[in-house]
Amino acid sequence: MSKNIKFMGGILITVALGIVSQFISGILPMHLISAGVFAMLIGMLLFPTINKHSWSSDGITFVSKKVLRISIILMGITLSFSQVVMVGKYSLLVMVFTLVTAFGGGYFLGRLFNLNWKLSSLISAGTGICGGSAIAAISPTIEADEIDMAYAISATFIFDIVMVVLFPLMGRYLVMSDMGYGLWTGTAVNDTSSVVAAGYAFSDAAGRYATIVKLTRTLSIVPIVLIFAYINQRVKIRETGTIGERKKVSITKIFPWFILTFIGMVFVKSILDILVINETFSFINEVSIRKMASIVSQISKFAMVMALGAIGLKSDFKKLYKNGLKPMVYGFVISTLVVVVSYFVQYVLGQI
């Protein structure tokens, strides 16, 4: 019984942290800062107090690992394969260039800044894919420390706050079209809430385009997670294996199986969309699908906020501070490169 109490104690703390964080985010105009960021920051502030008491550690660990994966799986219901077609070949081409910039440029800059590969990879993932969600998805795959995860989210969060203010101003100065601006915002701004805020600050049409592009961009989590699972396994073999010894990488060991469930959720959403279009069943209509997706999406978002709060509760701010400013500068440089590349590719394609 005492173990169950210890287990529930940490879970209840993260639930309370999630509720408070959502409330704070909700009172900000256009939800400028996502609840997940607030949860992580508040959790880090509470770390010195919570860390003194062992009764909450089991539950907090459970939320930071298991609930985190559940939130990623449920996130799949907000996506459908048809969205890739809706956005079109131009947005996918732009995303290829921004992903190459984020991870390719991130690799070389990470070595230049002398950052450990896990931290630089997490920042690149947050920049290239979808902020905290991508960082959260890749972190368990490469067995990253909570402190690296917290630093990566902080780096992308600060850049997003700046971009939410600057993007609409730059878009108007450059006289961009709604579609061009939406594509630019959806491929260059990191966190979903920041994409929505920056998109709708320009126009409603631009906001809708930006949201669709952003959701499609999220689909790249799947191949990126698989790639980093392989890389992490190779690094572990190199660190533990003898010189010159060749070992095979076990796909069954490195494969993040929870991603299959994520894909399954995307597949379910796609099938439901097809049934609605074909009017196969009278009880399956667009309204019912939207309600179902909305409910699951809200559960997913809250679970993610809980998980990020739990990660904050396990992150020592003193260790974060000791890492210095290099990761933050690195994050700003990578994010700026993605912004420039996204605009340049659209300019060349004539989409601006």
CA 331 → CA 196, 259, 326, distances in Å? 21, 26, 9
| Residue with tokens 């994409």, as numbered in its chain | 195
Q: Is the pLDDT of residue 165 over 90?
A: no
Stretch 285-298: mean pLDDT, rounded? 77
- Structure confidence at residue 249 as a pLDDT band (50, 70, 90): very low
What burial letters (b/e) apply to 152-165, b meaning 16+ CB within 10 Å? bbbbbbebbeebbe
According to the model, what pLDDT value does residue 75 have?
75
Close Cβ partners of 59 (under 8 Å, ≥ 6 residues apart):
6, 7, 8, 9, 10, 11, 12, 13, 14
Close Cβ partners of 238 (under 8 Å, ≥ 6 residues apart):
none
What number of residues does the chain have? 352
Q: Is the pLDDT of residue 284 over 70?
A: no
Q: Looking at per-residue confidence, does 161 or 232 come out higher?
A: 232
Q: Is the pLDDT of residue 255 over 60?
A: no
Determine whether 261 is exposed, middle or buried from the number of CB atoms within 10 Å of its CB (0-12, 13-18, 19+): middle
63-99 pLDDT, tens per residue?
A: 887 887 788 788 777 767 766 566 656 677 888 899 9
Least confident stretch, 55-64, 201-210, 295-304: 201-210
According to the model, what pLDDT value does residue 89 have?
62
256-271 pLDDT, tens per residue?
A: 566 678 778 878 888 8
Q: Is the pLDDT of residue 17 over 90?
A: yes
What burial letters (b/e) apply to 293-320, b meaning 16+ CB within 10 Å? beebeeebbbbbbbbbbbbbbbbeeeeb
The answer to whether the CB of 91 falls within 8 A of the CB of 216 is yes
According to the model, what pLDDT value does residue 329 have?
86
